[in-house]
Amino acid sequence: MIRTVTFEKTTYNELPYKFEAGTPNIAGGIGLGAALDYITHIGLQKIAGYEHDLLVYGTEALMRIPGLRMIGTAREKAAVLSFVIEGIHPHDIGTVLDQQGIAVRTGHHCAQPVMDRFHVPATTRASLAFYNTIGEIDALVAGLHKVKEIFS
């Protein structure tokens, strides 16, 4: 933020204002507040419990797919399902799922050392949250069967 500007000279405001560029992110601040209200209203414990149920259901459902290997199986983990399927590259999996309306992330997830640790070039990752449903996990499983059908 400036104090005065002329063609000849610019002076800046004192600290910390000199590092604040123009209008602050007011909408962002209000949005964050609304998001916190929403989460608090539902309850963090409730969210954690529901997401854990999704994780347990999703893990079991995916593990039944032949050739699928789960990456990251720590006992205490968030509702994230990262996996590889033998012989099919994650980007091909992602494109076919995308065509069925299922959004996953594919690639090295900005975590190349972890990919090296598990000896995989990339993974497919479904990240579940409290707005996901059991039905959506079933759709993911059906989608993965379709992937296998195309690339088998």
Partner 1 sequence: MVHDLYQETILDHSKRPRNCHPMEDATRKAEGYNPLCGDKLKLFLKMDGDIVSDVSFVGSGCAISTASASLMTESLKGKTRTEALKVMEKFHDLLTTDSPVTQELGKLVVFCGVRDYPARVKCATLAWHTLKSALNGAVEEPVSTE
Give the footprint of partner 1 on this chain (CB under 8 A).
88-92, 95-96, 99, 107-108, 112, 115, 121-122, 150-151
Q: Which is nearer to partner 1, 52 or 69 (CB)?
A: 69
In angstroms, rounded to a whole number, what is the distance separating the alpha carbons of residues 45 and 146? 36
Question: How many angstroms separate the Cα of 89 from the Cα of each of 35, 47, 79, 93, 122?
Answer: 36, 33, 23, 6, 8
Name the catalytic one among 110, 131, 149, 152: 110
Measured from the CB atom, the residue of 24 and 121 that comes closer to partner 1 is: 121
Task: Taking each helix axis as running N to C, give the angle between helix 134-151 and helix 90-99, from 0 to 180 degrees, rounded to the nearest 10.
Answer: 120
Considering the complex, state which of residue 10 and residue 112 has its C-beta at the smaller distance from partner 1: 112
Residues 97, 113 contacting (CB under 8 angstroms):
no
Contacts of 136 by beta carbon, 8 Å cutoff, 6+ apart = 102
Q: How far is the CB of 14 from partner 1 (least distance, A)?
A: 42
Residue 68 known to be catalytic: no
Nearest of 117, 116, 139, 118 to residue 128 by alpha carbon: 139
Active site amino acids: 110
